[in-house]
Every structure is written in structure tokens, then in C-alpha cells.
DNA sequence: GAGGTTAATTGACAAATGTCAATTGGGCTG
DNA sequence: CAGCCCAATTGACATTTGTCAATTAACCTC
């Protein structure tokens, strides 16, 4: 049963760059039309090809964006709190190019796309924030394309691990944020190949135990990986 | 030597969706600050990692967008008249993620990015057109990623040829719009592999002679390719 | 703690694709 | 028209990655 958002949840949403500069009256109108819902794992929230009736925001849990073709499927991204996904389809009233399903129990806000578009037409600050968000999404996917076309699967894994290590900034290592079979799919390889690639990175200082990764000395790994902000840094 | 744009060229630019709803006074201001220049083939217009000082518009000729990493290079897109490229970097004042070079002799308009951003802040219709353009660019790259991850190189070529055949709508076939080695790179394979893939498609009704492609009966090809608008249709 | 289920690893082999070099074809210039 | 240069094709082989199946590991429920 869909519920209205609590004050706390509205505040969480307000903090997002996308909504933070929106006029109060517009934000309140958006919240009045919003639903919040809990979903169990493995529930498909949207399906590629369908019209985008809502703009979704992940408040808790996580959501996998994936795409399929001819019985094949690939993971395109994982969405974590607090963030939206597939803004482009909502804003332009175009069909979804990707599907989405919950990875774990998740709490999602659904904002009617028609409300979002109406405010977009009225609120200049929101329009600008939409542009920023779309530009960032676009740049992110361009980097992903470069990663896929320019690097082998071993190089993609190496760079991924370096990136995650930098983000966690823990000297004892970090936990992979998703299951290995999904990580494999995201990186454009099979689970078997990921397993072999993880093993192949051991001589470069990488130790993986279950979900835990530690890289006490990453110099060799960095030499193999050759990270560049033009591919690997989401903020660049 | 950079020249100012002629009335004819301004008119060409005005016709673009990106600029067509811009207020006259803003468009005129943009044109006053614009340069137009002829470039011979193989000239690098922009380099990845560099700041985006100009928004470029291709009036004549063609421009290849490409990216490199560790001595490797890949073709990301080909830009034809009349259109812009890499709007996201200009609008957000971010470094270019791709380089661009002329494929043939080309006539390019250069619009100072600072002028573009200033008008973006002022002109609501232009801001909306920017959103449309960015959403389209984003969706295009997502389809490209799906193509790369979900399909083999043979399938990518098959779908590319079907797409080009539909666009040309000529019963006698069409000419490939770019050189084969660049097409190979764009589709994510080596020139040798493209050559073999072209050969492998002959039993499916594909005949290639130099740049000319004819597909008198495309039923078998379509069966192999399984085209879908969610990957292959730029307007979907 | 046992049993069941799913994820991950491993082995063996197949397929797809890349690399390198030689040859052929096409286009351009003098 | 000849010569040169570059694009494309082809052959042989290497590498990367996928597929399939078996085994092991991990997690969850009763």
C-alpha cells in the first residue's frame, strides 16, 4: 500500500542537489503527489520499453539497473541511497531504456513524472539542476563506454578495485558493495571470468576473501590498471 | 584565420532544435561572438582532458569523436552536418571526455562556451532545448552500451547495416558513411574482424563492394540481428 | 546441526576476437 | 599511366573470454 512521505523523508529528498534549489512551493507540491513504498528484494520496479510514469528515488536499500536483449541480460548500474534513476526518461516522457529491480529490501519514493515535468517548466533552478544531473549521467555513461572499449576485463576489474579502495579509504580494505555475479555483469564479463580475474590479480597485491578486498600495497596494481580520472573518477 | 559567420550559416544554425526557440536577441548575441573556420582533414579540434572553451557546430564535412587510453584508441561517434558535439562539457564547464578530429575538410562554427552558459542562464527556451539535447545524448550512449554488452561483434554489424539500410531507404542499397576501419572501431572490433564479419554476413543476404552495401532480401539478416528500437532507433 | 539452495570456484574445452604479417586493392599525385 | 601510399583482405596463430559441468563454499531455515 503506497504511503505519503514523512517529514524526515521529504528532508532527505530536499538535500539532493536535484531538489535543493527548487522553490518551496514547488517542492511541497511535488511531495503532496509523491508516494513512498517498501519493496522486498528482486522486485521489478520498471521495465525497459515502458513509459516512465514516475521518477523513482531510492531512500533505503539498493536498486539494480539492467537491460536485456534476446535472452541476454546485463547490469548497467547499481543505485544507492539517496538518489534517483533514469531522470532522462521522466523528463522527456520517453520509454525506459533499462529495467530496475530491488537488490535488497528497499524504500522508494515515487514522484509522478507529470508533476516533475510541470515543475520543470515553472522552476528555473530545478531546470538548471536537471541539466547538471543529465550532464553527469551522460558523462558517467561515456566513461563506462570508454572503460568497455579500451580496457580488457582484467584492467576493468583492477581499476574498479582501485576506485573502491580510494572511496572507502580504509587501510584494512573494503567490502564489495554488490554480489560478485552482479559485479561481473556490470564489468562486462561472466562470473567465472571474474573469479579467474580476481585470482589473476593476487600477484599484484590483491586479496579477496568473500566480499572483503584488501590491497595493502597497490603500486603494482596501479601500474597494471593505469587509472585515469577521465574514465574512473565520477566527479571529473 | 577565423571568420565571422555569414547570414546563411546563422540561418543553418538557427534551424537546429537546440537554437530554434532561443530569443532573437540572445541568438544574435551568440552569433556576434561566434567564429567559423575551415579545417583540413585529420585536424584535432579538441583533446580529451582539456577544458571546453567552445561549443562546436559542424556545418560541412564530418568530425570523428574518439577516446584513448594507454596507447589504445577507439571511435566513439561520427558527427555530421548540421550538429553540435559534446554539449555536456560546454554547459557544465567540465573537461572533455573525448577528443575530436576532422575526417574530411570541414567547416566548423565555434561558439564560446561562456556565451552559451550565459544565455543558458537567461533564456528559458534554450535551457529546455539543452535538456532535450542532453537527454537524447544520454539515451544514445545508453543504447550504445547495451549494444556493446549484449551483442557479439557480428550482431552489432548486422544491426548497424539494417539500420543504415532503413535510413537510406534505397532499394539499390547504400554507401557506408565512414571508412571501414573507423566503422570497425566504432562497433568495437578490429578492421580484420570487421572484414571477416562482413564476409560472414554474405550468406544472410549482405553484399559489400567497397563502400557500397546492398541487402536485396533482409529477412535472414533480420532474424540474426533481432533489431530493437530500444538499442537501434536513435529517436526512440 | 542437518539439509537445501544459491553463489562462487575450478577444470576442460569452445568460441570469439585480437595480433602480426603478407598480399591485394584502391586512390592519389606527378 | 606509373609509382607510391594507405585501406582492406586474408592467413596463421595467440589471447581473451564464454560455456558447461562438477565441486566447494556460504547462507538460511527448520
Could you write out the three-class secondary structure of chain A?
Answer: CCECCCHHHHHHHHCCHHHHCCCHHHHHHHHHCCEEEEECCCCEEECCCCCCCEEEEEEECCEEEEEEECCEEEEEEEECCCEEECHHHHHHCCCCCCEEEECCCEEEEEEEHHHHHHHHHHCHHHHHHHHHHHHHHHHHHHHHHHHHHHCCHHHHHHHHHHHHHHHHCCCCCEECCCCHHHHHHHCCCCHHHHHHHHHHCHHHCCEEECCEEECCCCHHHHHHHCCCHHHHCCCC
A187 backbone dihedrals φ, ψ, rounded to 5°: -80, 0
Smallest Cα distance from A30 to chain B, Å: 20
Interface of B with A in 4-63 (CB under 8 A): 48-49
Number of domains in chain B: 2
* Residue A110 in this model has a pLDDT that exceeds 80: yes
- Exposed / middle / buried, residue A12 (Cβ in 10 Å: 0-12, 13-18, 19+): middle
Same domain, A79 and A156: no
Short-list B73, B80, B25, CA closest to B56: B80
Domain assignment present for residue B35? The answer is yes
CATH number for position A195: 1.10.10.10
Considering only CB atoms, which chain A residues are within 8 Å of B140? Answer: none
SS3 B43: coil
pLDDT classification of A4: cutoffs 50, 70, 90:
confident
Considering only CB atoms, which chain A residues are within 8 Å of B230? Answer: 48-49, 67, 69, 95, 97
Domain assignment present for residue A1? The answer is no
CA dist A213 and A233 (Å) reads 20
* Residue B160 in this model has a pLDDT that exceeds 60: yes
Same domain, A28 and A140: yes
Same domain, B226 and B176: yes
Smallest Cα distance from A31 to chain B, Å: 23
Smallest Cα distance from B104 to chain A, Å: 24
- What is the CA B194 to C1' D8 distance in angstroms? 10
CATH number for position B56: 2.60.120.10
Same domain, A17 and A87: yes
B156 backbone dihedrals φ, ψ, rounded to 5°: -65, -45
Tens-digit pLDDT profile for residues A31-67: 999 999 999 888 999 999 999 999 999 999 999 999 9
Work out the mean pLDDT of chain B and round it to a whole number. 94
B195 touches strand C (CB under 7 A): no
Same domain, A60 and A123: yes
B34 backbone dihedrals φ, ψ, rounded to 5°: -90, 155
Q: What is the pLDDT of residue B57?
A: 96
Same domain, B65 and B130: yes
- What is the CA A178 to C1' C10 distance in angstroms? 22
% of chain A residues with pLDDT over 70: 99
pLDDT classification of A5: cutoffs 50, 70, 90:
confident
- What is the CA A210 to C1' D26 distance in angstroms? 9
Tens-digit pLDDT profile for residues B81-118: 999 999 999 999 999 999 999 999 899 999 999 999 99
A195 touches strand C (CB under 7 A): yes
Tens-digit pLDDT profile for residues B34-83: 999 999 888 999 999 999 999 999 999 999 999 999 999 999 999 999 99
Q: What is the pLDDT of residue A114?
A: 96
Name the grid cell of B129: 532545448
Counted across chains A and B, CB pairs separated by less than 8 A come out at: 136
* Residue A1 in this model has a pLDDT that exceeds 60: no
**Domain final position from B104, B128, B148:** B148
Q: What is the pLDDT of residue A7?
A: 85
**Domain final position from B148, B179, B198:** B148
Tens-digit pLDDT profile for residues B126-147: 999 999 999 999 999 999 999 9
Same domain, A170 and A64: no
Domain assignment present for residue B109? The answer is yes
pLDDT classification of B13: cutoffs 50, 70, 90:
very high
CB–CB of A230 and B97 under 8 A?
yes
pLDDT classification of B3: cutoffs 50, 70, 90:
confident
Considering only CB atoms, which chain A residues are within 8 Å of B142? Answer: 76, 97-98, 141
Q: What is the pLDDT of residue B6?
A: 83
B137 membership: H or E segment, kind and range: helix B124-150
Strand partners, B100: B46, B65
CB–CB of B138 and A143 under 8 A?
no
> Do β-strands A212-214 and A54-60 pair in parallel, antiparallel, or remain unpaired?
unpaired
CB–CB of B131 and A131 under 8 A?
yes
CB–CB of A145 and B76 under 8 A?
yes
Domain assignment present for residue B1? The answer is no
Contact A134, B138 (CB under 8 A): yes
Same domain, B167 and B80: no
Q: What is the pLDDT of residue B2?
A: 62
Work out the mean pLDDT of chain A and round it to a whole number. 94
Domain assignment present for residue B86? The answer is yes
CB–CB of A88 and B139 under 8 A?
yes
* Of B98, B127, B231, Cβ closest to residue A69: B231
CA nearest A88 in B: which residue?
B135
* Residue A2 in this model has a pLDDT that exceeds 70: no
Place of cell 532545448: B129
- Interface check for B224 against chain A (CB to CB < 8 A): the answer is no
Same domain, B203 and B121: no
Q: What is the pLDDT of residue A18?
A: 96
Tell me the residue range of the domain where A197 lies: 152-232
Domain assignment present for residue B2? The answer is no
B83 touches strand D (CB under 7 A): no
pLDDT, mean of residues A144-158: 97
pLDDT classification of B4: cutoffs 50, 70, 90:
confident
Contact B207, B175 (CB under 8 A): no
Amino acid at each position: 500500500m503506497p504511503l505519503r512521505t514523512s517529514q524526515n523523508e521529504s528532508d532527505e529528498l530536499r538535500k539532493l542537489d536535484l531538489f535543493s534549489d527548487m522553490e518551496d512551493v514547488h517542492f511541497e507540491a511535488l511531495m503532496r503527489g509523491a508516494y513512498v513504498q517498501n519493496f522486498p528484494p528482486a522486485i521489478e520496479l520498471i521495465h525497459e520499453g515502458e513509459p516512465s510514469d514516475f521518477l523513482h528515488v531510492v531512500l533505503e536499500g539498493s536498486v539494480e539497473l539492467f537491460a536485456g536483449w534476446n535472452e541476454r541480460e546485463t547490469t548497467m548500474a547499481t543505485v544507492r541511497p539517496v538518489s534517483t534513476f533514469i531522470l532522462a526518461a521522466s523528463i522527456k516522457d520517453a520509454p525506459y531504456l533499462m529495467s530496475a529491480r530491488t537488490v535488497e529490501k528497499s524504500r522508494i519514493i515515487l514522484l509522478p513524472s507529470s508533476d516533475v515535468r510541470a515543475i520543470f517548466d515553472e522552476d528555473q533552478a530545478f531546470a538548471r539542476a536537471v541539466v547538471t544531473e543529465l550532464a553527469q549521467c551522460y558523462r558517467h555513461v561515456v566513461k563506462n563506454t570508454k572503460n568497455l572499449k579500451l580496457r580488457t576485463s582484467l584492467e576493468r576489474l583492477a581499476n574498479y578495485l582501485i576506485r573502491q579502495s580510494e572511496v572507502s579509504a580504509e587501510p584494512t580494505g573494503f567490502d564489495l558493495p554488490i554480489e560478485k555475479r552482479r559485479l561481473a555483469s556490470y564489468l562486462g564479463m561472466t562470473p567465472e571470468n571474474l573469479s579467474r580475474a580476481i585470482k589473476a590479480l593476487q600477484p599484484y597485491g590483491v586479496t579477496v576473501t568473500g566480499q572483503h578486498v584488501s590491497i595493502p600495497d597497490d603500486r603494482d596494481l596501479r601500474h597494471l590498471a593505469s587509472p585515469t580520472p577521465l574514465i574512473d573518477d565520477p566527479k571529473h
